[in-house]
Chain A
Amino acid sequence: MSGLPPSPLLALRGIGKSFLGVRVLDGVDLQVRPGEVHAVVGENGAGKSTLMKVVSGVHQPDEGTVEFAGAPRTFRTPREAQQAGIGTVHQELTLLPERTVAENVWLGREPLRRGLVDRRAMLSHTARLLASIGEGSLPPGTRVGRLGVAQQQVVEIVKALALDARLLVMDEPTAALADHEVDQLYALVRRLQEHGIGVLYVSHRLKEVFDLSSRITVLKDGRAVATLDTADTGADQLVRHMVGRELSSYYPDLARPQELGPVRLTVRCAGNRKLRGIDLRLRAGEVLGVGGLQGSGRSALARALFGAAPFSTGHVSVDGAPVRLRSPRAAMRAGIAYVSEDRKGEGIVAEQSVLDNALLAARAVRAVHPGRGGRGARTARVRELLAAVDLRAAGEDQEIRYLSGGNQQKAVLARWLALAPRILLFDEPTRGIDVGAKSAIHDLVRRLARDGAAVLMVSSELPELLGMSDRVIVMRDGRIAGELAAGATEEDVIALAVGTVGEAAG
């Protein structure tokens, strides 16, 4: 880190940023030299995305300074950062499929000639830029919608370069790419490097990080814990920097062997667009943790089991009987419940009351099983459940949007418990929930398992995953990369997730 030969292109000093009192970035220092690919790695929630947004002008830091090209700068909007020469390649593509490559590249700053858009110049500039990064074969007049994802990624990069960018921020650029496309991207990044452009490269995939970068900064809990020269660093060493936190919180006891019941759910050779070759067995009384990086297929697995994004191949059986989980209703009929990771978007109906939210599923399937208890009895049952999950609200008629995240989650849980499900799928059950409510939900999950339910729990929080699960499977690239028994360490999970361990189980 010392004695940098060329002066840094970008220098972040003591960057701090809080959202609603939560410290997301804390005194981050980071420097990018011209022509350097500087990788930023870290667990989910380590602050990578926020850091990138600070650099690209989307967020403004609460403290610390940003120096670019030797001068301190404040970027109030993305546009200001762009004008300064910082281009951003976003995780999701920000292209208009109906417009041509050239039109996309120059959007917002179309070249003018006598007050009119100079289309010829637009095309020729684009062609030149494409040629300069060795993508000359891509015709600038093509509609972006006709291009493959990798080519679109190229357009996205050219769009950033068209600003005469000297620093390129790339946030998970390979998230949407196939393997051979990733190679193309490598080549492209290397050529950028040759042009003296600095690249800030965020990725989950350690392989890419090692392949491309010259230095790596590891973020953990909002701090830059290390900046390492890639050449001198091994994968094990990197993973150790990424994890390694004391397990302080309390988790309920795991299942004792005699508490494990028969196999509830069996999945064989199942797959869909996002998943391949899924084989798993889930026993009654068991909490099966699902780990993996973002986009590895861990959420896709839960959604496939619930029929929200169903398996297109393979076999699933519940309690020995084959089932086809084509829709949420079908899954519900099979006794499966699902708590989504996106509570606001998929979990609650914000403007309805707590009671309405808790009754939603019971009401929805009543049509299927008419006459299963009167309405009064059902409402009474849900009221009991709301009490059982210890939901705190001003009243059952209060709109759920005024409740805390934890109480909202309890209402969602009560909704499912009203159906007495045999299999529960949790995706990030404690995301965005305060500590107290979190352990209450952990207790609830365990209690459900103890009462005979089979639980599958997706979590990106390693302590939670390891603390709650009787068994952990780790997803990578849509497959189950491996399985870990209780007592595994965070390093074990990360190693499987990023793929430093050989394709043990994949």
Chain B
Amino acid sequence: MSAAPSLPARRTPPGVFVALVLTLAIGWLVVTLDGGRLFSLPTTVSLLHVAAGLGLVAVGQTLVIVGGSLDLSVAYVVSLSTLVAAETMAGDDGALLPAICLALAASATIGLVNGLLVTTARINPFIATVGVGLLLKGYLDNGYDGPAGKTAPSLVQGLGYQRVGPVPLSFLLLLAVAAAAWFVLTRTRFGHHLIAVGGDPEVARLSGVRGTRVLVTAHVLCALCAGLAGVYLASRLGAGAPRVGTEGLYDLESIAAVVLGGTALAGGRGGVVGTVGGVLLLASIDAVFNQLEVDVFFSR
């Protein structure tokens, strides 16, 4: 399952950051030749916003993937969380905190279900989380006919649109969450045990690690991150959106970001730093293409 010991494997792969710099450099060149600007303030802000949404999901995804599992239900969790948050707020600043707590609690519950299906019911994580995703999809399709609820104005102004220089508040939130996740992975027993379970569950067991508990926790944390992304999107959209998660392809893109960041899909290797790099890379590619796709008719 894991690579042969002789294979050269990098510890923190700088590869994704090299790719990021190259992408930005080439992208800048191409966009400039195309007559656009890649690093204008609005473009940078947009890039960081895209990175914030995807990043929050991807950081959570990193945790489960490092643990040798996977979560394909995140896109629906994101959508659900925007709805729970926006509907509980109903445009009232006073309901801000309970709404966020409720959204996160709903997300965590789904994470718990995912975790239990994967560990206790021993269902392959891919199948289990797709199954849970389909359950949620049905609930959302059936229960919602479009945007619902109204995000508290203070959240829209704050998390949604406030920024420090070119850096949106939401990106700072991502950095904070990523730092926390990095801290958890490297500085807590849970983190060490999670990586061990991902690397080889049997070795972890022989070393006295309680694999089930660790993996369930990882799934809950992953869903919490997706829930947080949902709260952010609710702040950005001003309402709950039942299809925002799937439209944004958060399930697949988050996995892509994690893998680009050097985390092995089989688990046991990788980390959050690479994931943030992967997220920035995807967001940059997105930004470059967006600039290139801007149709300009009879420009001189």
Which residues of B185-231 are within 8 A (CB) of A? Answer: 186-189, 191-193, 195-196, 199-200, 202-204, 206-209
Contact indicator A82/B199 (Cβ below 8 Å): no
- Total CB contacts across the A-B interface at under 8 A: 74
Contact indicator A145/B268 (Cβ below 8 Å): no
Which residues of A48-100 are within 8 A (CB) of B? Answer: 78-79, 82, 90, 94-99
A135 within 8 A of B: no
- Name the distance in Å between A103's Cβ and chain B's nearest Cβ: 6
Contact indicator B5/A147 (Cβ below 8 Å): yes
Contact indicator A145/B189 (Cβ below 8 Å): no
- By beta carbon, the residue of chain A nearest B268 is A98
CA distance A297 to B9 in the complex (A): 31
Contact indicator B187/A108 (Cβ below 8 Å): no
Contact indicator A143/B11 (Cβ below 8 Å): yes
- By beta carbon, the residue of chain B nearest A96 is B199
- By beta carbon, the residue of chain A nearest B6 is A145
A112 within 8 A of B: yes
Interface size range of chain A in the complex: 20 to 34
Q: Which of A78, A106, A143 contacts B206 (CB 8 A)?
A: A78
CA distance A117 to B3 in the complex (A): 27
Contact indicator A110/B2 (Cβ below 8 Å): no
Contacting residues, chain B, for A78 (C-beta < 8 A): 206, 208
Tell whether A97 pairs with B208 under 8 Å between CB atoms, given A110-B192, A143-B11: no
Q: Which of B9, B192, B206 contacts A94 (CB 8 A)?
A: B206
Q: Which of A96, A108, A112 contacts B268 (CB 8 A)?
A: A96
CA distance A42 to B191 in the complex (A): 43
Contacting residues, chain A, for B7 (C-beta < 8 A): 145
Contacting residues, chain A, for B49 (C-beta < 8 A): none
CA distance A340 to B269 in the complex (A): 35
Contact indicator B193/A108 (Cβ below 8 Å): yes
CA distance A96 to B202 in the complex (A): 10
CA distance A97 to B6 in the complex (A): 10
Tell whether A145 pairs with B3 under 8 Å between CB atoms, given A107-B196, A108-B193, A110-B189: yes
CA distance A97 to B186 in the complex (A): 17
- Name the distance in Å between B72's Cβ and chain A's nearest Cβ: 24
Contact with B along A206-241 (1 / 0, CB 8 A): 000000000000000000000000000000000000
Which residues of B156-201 are within 8 A (CB) of A? Answer: 186-189, 191-193, 195-196, 199-200
Q: Which of A98, A109, A144 contacts B208 (CB 8 A)?
A: A109
- Name the distance in Å between A138's Cβ and chain B's nearest Cβ: 15
Contacting residues, chain B, for A90 (C-beta < 8 A): 206
Contacting residues, chain B, for A106 (C-beta < 8 A): 192
Contacting residues, chain A, for B186 (C-beta < 8 A): 117, 119
Contacting residues, chain A, for B206 (C-beta < 8 A): 78, 90, 94
Which residues of B1-49 are within 8 A (CB) of A? Answer: 2-3, 5, 7, 9, 11
Q: Which of B11, B188, B189, B196 contacts A96 (CB 8 A)?
A: B196
Contact indicator A146/B208 (Cβ below 8 Å): no
Contact indicator B5/A146 (Cβ below 8 Å): yes
Contact indicator B199/A99 (Cβ below 8 Å): yes
Q: Which of B7, B9, B193, B206 gathers the greatest number of chain A CB atoms within 10 Å? A: B206
Contacting residues, chain A, for B187 (C-beta < 8 A): 116-117, 119
Which residues of A141-170 are within 8 A (CB) of B? Answer: 143-147, 149, 152, 159
- By beta carbon, the residue of chain A nearest B267 is A98
Contact indicator B2/A99 (Cβ below 8 Å): no
CA distance A145 to B200 in the complex (A): 13
Contacting residues, chain A, for B191 (C-beta < 8 A): 117
Contact indicator B189/A112 (Cβ below 8 Å): yes
Q: Count chain B residues whose beta carbon lies closer than 8 angstroms to a beta carbon of A.
A: 27
CA distance A115 to B184 in the complex (A): 11
- By beta carbon, the residue of chain B nearest A100 is B11
CA distance A145 to B9 in the complex (A): 8
- By beta carbon, the residue of chain A nearest B200 is A96
Contact indicator B209/A152 (Cβ below 8 Å): no
CA distance A99 to B199 in the complex (A): 9
Which residues of A14-44 are within 8 A (CB) of B? Answer: none
Which residues of B59-86 are within 8 A (CB) of A? Answer: none
Contacting residues, chain B, for A98 (C-beta < 8 A): 2, 9, 195, 199, 264, 268-269
Contact with B along A307-326 (1 / 0, CB 8 A): 00000000000000000000
CA distance A145 to B10 in the complex (A): 11
- By beta carbon, the residue of chain B nearest A146 is B5
- Name the distance in Å between B75's Cβ and chain A's nearest Cβ: 29
- Name the distance in Å between B66's Cβ and chain A's nearest Cβ: 10
Contact indicator A107/B188 (Cβ below 8 Å): no
Contact indicator A116/B203 (Cβ below 8 Å): no
Contact indicator A145/B192 (Cβ below 8 Å): no
Tell whether A107 pairs with B11 under 8 Å between CB atoms, given A97-B3, A98-B269, A117-B192: no
CA distance A116 to B191 in the complex (A): 10
CA distance A110 to B186 in the complex (A): 11
- Name the distance in Å between A355's Cβ and chain B's nearest Cβ: 30
CA distance A159 to B203 in the complex (A): 12
- Name the distance in Å between B210's Cβ and chain A's nearest Cβ: 9
CA distance A149 to B4 in the complex (A): 11
- By beta carbon, the residue of chain B nearest A163 is B208
CA distance A417 to B157 in the complex (A): 79
Contact indicator B207/A108 (Cβ below 8 Å): yes
CA distance A397 to B208 in the complex (A): 44
Contact indicator A97/B5 (Cβ below 8 Å): yes
- Name the distance in Å between A223's Cβ and chain B's nearest Cβ: 29
Contacting residues, chain B, for A143 (C-beta < 8 A): 9, 11
Q: Which of A98, A99, A112, A159 gathers the greatest number of chain B CB atoms within 10 Å? A: A98
- Name the distance in Å between B222's Cβ and chain A's nearest Cβ: 20
CA distance A109 to B209 in the complex (A): 9
Contacting residues, chain B, for A107 (C-beta < 8 A): 192-193, 196, 203-204, 207, 209
- Name the distance in Å between B203's Cβ and chain A's nearest Cβ: 5
Q: Which of B199, B202, B268 gathers the greatest number of chain A CB atoms within 10 Å? A: B199
- Name the distance in Å between A125's Cβ and chain B's nearest Cβ: 15
Contact indicator A99/B196 (Cβ below 8 Å): yes
Contact indicator B11/A94 (Cβ below 8 Å): no
Contacting residues, chain B, for A109 (C-beta < 8 A): 208
CA distance A234 to B125 in the complex (A): 57
Contact indicator B203/A94 (Cβ below 8 Å): yes
- 15 additional A-B residue pairs with CB within 8 Å, beyond A97-B199, A107-B203, A108-B209: A82-B208, A94-B200, A95-B203, A96-B199, A98-B199, A103-B192, A107-B196, A108-B207, A112-B189, A116-B188, A117-B189, A117-B191, A145-B5, A145-B7, A146-B5
**Sampled A-B contacts (27; CB under 8 Å):** A79-B208, A90-B206, A94-B203, A96-B2, A96-B196, A96-B200, A96-B203, A96-B268, A98-B264, A98-B268, A103-B192, A107-B193, A107-B204, A107-B209, A108-B193, A108-B196, A110-B189, A119-B186, A119-B187, A143-B11, A144-B5, A145-B5, A145-B9, A146-B5, A147-B5, A149-B5, A152-B5
- 9 nearest A-B residue pairs (beta carbon): A108-B208, A108-B207, A96-B199, A98-B269, A79-B208, A107-B207, A145-B5, A94-B203, A116-B187
